Structure 1
Amino acid sequence: MSALPLAITGVGLVTGVGLNAPATCAAIRCALDNFQETRFMDNGGEWIMGCEVPLEQPWRGKTKLIKMAAAAINECLGNNKQIVPKATPLLLCLSEHERIGRVIDDDNQFFLDLQEELGAEFHEKSRVIARGHVAVAVALKHARQLLYELKAKHVLIAAADSLLVAPTLSHYEENERLLTSQNSNGFIPGEAGAALVVEAVHAKQENQLLCHGLGFGVEKAHVYSEEPLRADGLTVAIKESLNDAGCGESIIEFKITDISGEQYYFKEASLAFSRIDRTKREAFDIWHPADCIGEVGAVMGVVMVAVLKAACEKGYSKGNHILAHLGNDDGKRSSMIFGWQAVGGN
């Protein structure tokens, strides 16, 4: 396995099915959702279904994003009193700048406002990663450098995003991406905040979820392209993550993805894995948390990692070696290899 693995030692979640990580992960394990009619209407005159986070006040826009991110970060800080914000870089994952309807107009100001909400100032190496779905993998790559080269003790990775924005929903509906009364091949929009605590791996005698490998690729035949899909970008990303982890595909026991309902991404995931899989398998589970929380943009990757951690800790995962992959609409792809290190186990 990788010489520079990362340990996921804490999680925080705020989603439409739970306002903390245990509640959210329990709901996802039970396949519960909170899909309800939103205040937005589709072109057929029907209410659009969505998964809204029920906070104590009806906040909207940037304010709600800050509240969700702060709550997730506070959950991590509350569970680990050794974290010193001033000495801890915060890597904040946000939606791509190009996304239609993006409510954040100044990333740096948003970061400052988040610090003010938290009443804490983070390390000078903190940064915003506006990369959408693949942001969590980019953040883990930066975290690896911060932990092993700059010797940071902890790194916080946080994310906040919402697709429950009128211009965003209109854009996706016009492009037949949204699940509506007139389109069955689409996703249900949602919103969420999430956070992870990442540490370097030392000789700890404790159970922990480790990220062993990271990989990246670019798909030319992305969802808006008219080129035939061969899943080249995702295949490259998966192969790179396996090489980074120093293992072969045979070690993978199940996978978790950001798939949220569109046939394109199901087809891509199937094609990519079939191109690297050389192992005879009786079963191979595919988990997609979006079934419960909706499409939550840049937060999805962080949620996926948190779900894996809970599943491994509570013993309901489908194995100890997991593939996780994500993709952006513009073709950017990322892949991560996770392993559960159990005391006395593998």
Structure 2
Amino acid sequence: MSGLAIEACGMSTAIGLNAPASAAAQRARLSNFEETHFISHDGKWMIGAEVPLDPPKRGRARLQALLEGPLRECYAALGDVDPKDVPVLLCVAEGDRPGRLAGVDTSLLHDTLNAIGQPIHADSAVITYGRVGGIVALRDARDLMKKGAKKVIVAGVDSYLIAGTLAHYDADDRVLTETNSNGFPAGEGAAAVLLGRGGAFQLLGLGFGREPAHITSGEPTRADGLVAAMREALGEAGIDFSEVDYRMSDLNGEQYYFKEAALAMTRVLRKRIDQMDLWNPASEFGYTGAASMPLMLGLGLIAGQKRYAPGRTVIMQTSDDDGRRGTAIFRMEG
């Protein structure tokens, strides 16, 4: 056991502008999918989930507006810890994603913290690994706490509702439309979690892997990368997969990732179990990219606190288009 735990969370999503509202809507399986203003190459409206910001904002200013609320929720939970002593690790879109907004790496974190009146710690950093960034951030947060940090905030913000981004994925028939069911519903959102040592939702293990037959490779996957990540996390946690109560994943609606997740489970599971629930937050929030892992962490915390999770132990899985795979295992104690 790492001694690291999630103590609080914040969210800004298409179905809720704070963590309690987002988690309650997700529990009720509510969604906010609508036709976007974007048209696919076959002339059909693309489906997406937009956060209802008031007043509306666009571009990098929109990402900042999405991020401010979740960070405020986490800072409000600091207690007697001075905010200047808390590093923030911000997960954003991968560096080579088409349509990526300028300034995300260099100024978004600084400008957002300045806007909410919080200092920036010298160890704060921006992590540009998209969906897998949240697992990387957990690893880095654990290292920071080993070096003496009392608390760390891990946050993520992202949007696929950008013309250049959607045009790229639409050209590859990867966006959900009324004529393409094997695609993802574009979404956006932000989430943050406060990590410390006093919470009940404790990190048991982390794992990483690399999938050679990723979604754009054209090769059939054996789920080698996800299997490696799961086995590493389970080994670190010191448990068998059969001891996990439920799964949470960033599955986005594309058949490739569902097949990968199913294959990985069959390869790792060695003991018969009757059932293991799979939570797929993208079904309610849309495809949220770098925000997906912080969102899952927050949902797991609230589900454990309110006792509606299928059990105490959850394995969270994430995969990106370039083959990076990551897994985290958490358990609600007490």
Query: Shorter chain as normaliser: what TM range?
Result: over 0.9
Alignment partner of 2:98: what SS? coil
Partner of 2:161: 164
Correspondence for 1:151: 148
Structure 1 residues 106 and 32: CA distance shift in structure 2, 3 A: closer
User: Structure 2 matches for 1:71-90, cutoff 5 A?
Assistant: 71-90=69-88
**Residue 147 of structure 1 contacts residue 200 of structure 1 at CA under 8 Å; is this kept in 2?**
no
Paired residues for 1:329-344 under 5 Å: 329-342=321-334
TM-score by length of 2: 0.97
- 2:44 and 2:80 mapped to 1: Cα distance? 50
C-alpha separation between the residues in 1 aligned to 2:89 and 2:254?
Answer: 29
Q: Which one of the candidate residues 274, 283, 286 is aligned to 1:291?
A: 283
Q: CA deviation at 1:168?
A: 0.5
TM-score (norm 1): 0.94
**Partner amino acid for 1:159?**
G
The CA deviation string for residues 215-246 of structure 1, in whole angstroms up to 9 with x for no partner, is 00000000001122100000000001111112
Which sections of structure 1, spanning at least 5 residues, go unmatched?
Answer: 202-206
Matched residues in 1 for 2:291 and 2:60: separation?
15
C-alpha distance after superposition, 1:111-153 (max 9, x if no partner): 22122212221210111111111111111101111112x2111
**2:177 matches 1:187:** no
Are 1:140 and 2:132 matched, yes or no? no
Distance 1:87 1:288 in 2: 34
Matches within 5 A, 1:119-138: 119-138=117-136
Once residues 139 and 214 of structure 1 are traced to their aligned partners in structure 2, the CA distance between those partners, rounded to angstroms, is 11
Q: Partner amino acid for 1:297?
A: G
Matched-pair contact (CA < 8 Å) for 2:92–2:104: no
**Superposition deviation, residue 106 in structure 1:** 5.1
Q: Does 1:266 align with 2:271?
A: no
SS of 2:207's equivalent? strand
1:256 to 239, 243, 248: 248
The Cα RMSD (Å) is 1.2
Separation in 2 of the partners of 1:104 and 1:78? 30
Q: Is the 8 A contact 2:318 2:325 kept in 1?
A: yes
1:40-77 Cα distance to aligned partner (Å, 9 max, x none): 11223232111101111110111010111111100111
Query: Which residue does 2:93 correspond to in 1?
Result: 95
Cα shift at 1:31: 0.4
Residue of structure 2 equivalent to 1:59 = 57
Amino acid at match of 1:223: I
- Show structure 2 runs of 5+ residues with no match: none
Amino acid at match of 2:162: V
Alpha-carbon distance, 1:306 to partner: 0.8
User: For each residue in 1:221-280, what CA deviation from the matched residue of structure 2 results, as whole angstroms up to 9, or x when unmatched?
Assistant: 000011221000000000011111122222111100000111100000000111010121
Q: Could you say what secondary structure the match of 1:259 adopts?
A: coil
In the alignment of these two chains, the number of paired residues is 334
Q: C-alpha displacement at 1:104, in angstroms?
A: 3.1
Q: Aligned to 2:221, which of 217, 221, 229? A: 229
- Once residues 325 and 106 of structure 1 are traced to their aligned partners in structure 2, the CA distance between those partners, rounded to angstroms, is 25
Q: Please identify, of 323-332 and 71-80, the stretch whose mean Cα deviation from structure 2 is larger.
A: 71-80
Aligned to 2:174: 177
Distance (whole Å) between structure 2 residues aligned to residue 104 and residue 131 of structure 1: 16
Residue of structure 2 in register with 1:204 after alignment: none
Q: Give the letter aligned to residue 55 of structure 1.
A: L
Q: 2:102, 2:114 → 1: CA distance?
A: 16
Which residue of 57, 62, 68 corresponds with 1:70? 68
Question: 1-side partners of 2:220 and 2:35: how far apart?
Answer: 35
1:29 to 27, 37, 55: 27
